[in-house]
Amino acid sequence: MPSAVPLRTDFSASELRRLAKRSRDNNQSRRLLSLAAVLERINCTDAARTGGMDRQTLRDWVHRFDEAGPEGLLDNWASGPAPRLSPDQKPTLAAIVEARPDREVDGVVRWRRVDLKRVIVERFVVDYHERYVGALLKKIGFSHISARPRHPRQDALIIEAFSAKSDPRCVARVSVVGDRVRCPTIAQH
């Protein structure tokens, strides 16, 4: 047979009801009303039902009330684990992403999550999963979409000639004179 848990006596049932009425937290109010019912010598099962809980849960709240008073009846959500990158390191990572990779140093022409994972381990000695690197970038303010990088040996004249051929006003023949691409239009003929 379980033993009775003593309840603090420095609050009366009417004081607990008054606190429940003034509380802005509904859960705290329910718990205070259940404890007020216990102080009025109402059956524990009925007192627990008053607050919408079972007897064991009421017993747990009695322990919290005995330790911390009415403030112990508030929900205390855990904040979760501490972030592994400090708030000072996140802007540094953002600057690395903004600066774009150096092909000779980093060996890539654009950042991928797996590349940034390697950089984070090297610079900050923090090992994230590759998928979390994407979530981290989103938290910092980056989108998953990036511009396609230019190839280092790309020729601007060829690009201009290609776009000139795509213009319907241009004749099929495109000529390169010096460093300029000439596209005679139909109107000039």
Establish if 6 belongs to a structural domain: no
Band of pLDDT at residue 169, cut at 50, 70 and 90: low
116 shares its domain with 160: no
Distance CA 188, CA 49 (A): 91
Mean pLDDT of the chain: 84
Write 24-28 long-range contacts (CB < 8 A, 24+). Answer: 25/74, 25/75, 27/73, 27/74, 27/75, 28/70, 28/73, 28/74, 28/75
Q: Is the pLDDT of residue 186 over 50?
A: no
- Does 78 fall in a domain? no
Give the N- to C-terminal CA distance of the chain in Å, as an integer.
106
Q: What is the pLDDT of residues 9-54, one digit of tens each?
A: 899 999 999 999 999 999 999 999 999 999 999 999 999 999 999 9
Q: Are residues 68 and 33 in the same domain?
A: yes
Confidence category of residue 177, pLDDT binned at 50, 70, 90: low
93 & 69 share domain: no
One domain for residues 26 and 62: yes
pLDDT category, 174, cuts 50, 70, 90?
low
Same domain, 69 and 96: no
- Say how many domains are in the chain: 3
pLDDT at 166: 57
At residue 161, the pLDDT reads 74
Whether the predicted pLDDT of 7 surpasses 80: yes
pLDDT at 171 over 60: no
CA 31 to centroid of chain Cα atoms: 32
**118 domain residue, yes or no:** yes
* Within a domain: 146: no
Give the pLDDT band (50/70/90) at residue 72. very high
More confident residue, 183 or 75: 75
Q: What is the residue whose two structure tokens read 């047979």?
A: 1
Asked if residue 134 has pLDDT above 50, the reply is: yes
The verdict on residue 43 lying in a domain is yes
Residue 19 lies in a domain: yes
Is residue 17 domain-shared with residue 51, that is, in the same domain?
yes
Q: Which domain holds residue 94?
A: 89-140
The answer on pLDDT for 189 being more than 50 is no
Assigned domain for 3 exists: no
What's this model's pTM, rounded to 2 decimal places?
0.48
> How far are the Cα atoms of 59, 84, 86, 92, 149 from residue 75, in angstroms, in the given order?
16, 26, 27, 36, 50
Query: Dihedrals φ, ψ of 109, to 5°?
Result: -100, -15
Domain membership of residue 168 (yes or no) is yes
pLDDT for position 78: 83
Whether residues 28 and 61 fall in one domain: yes
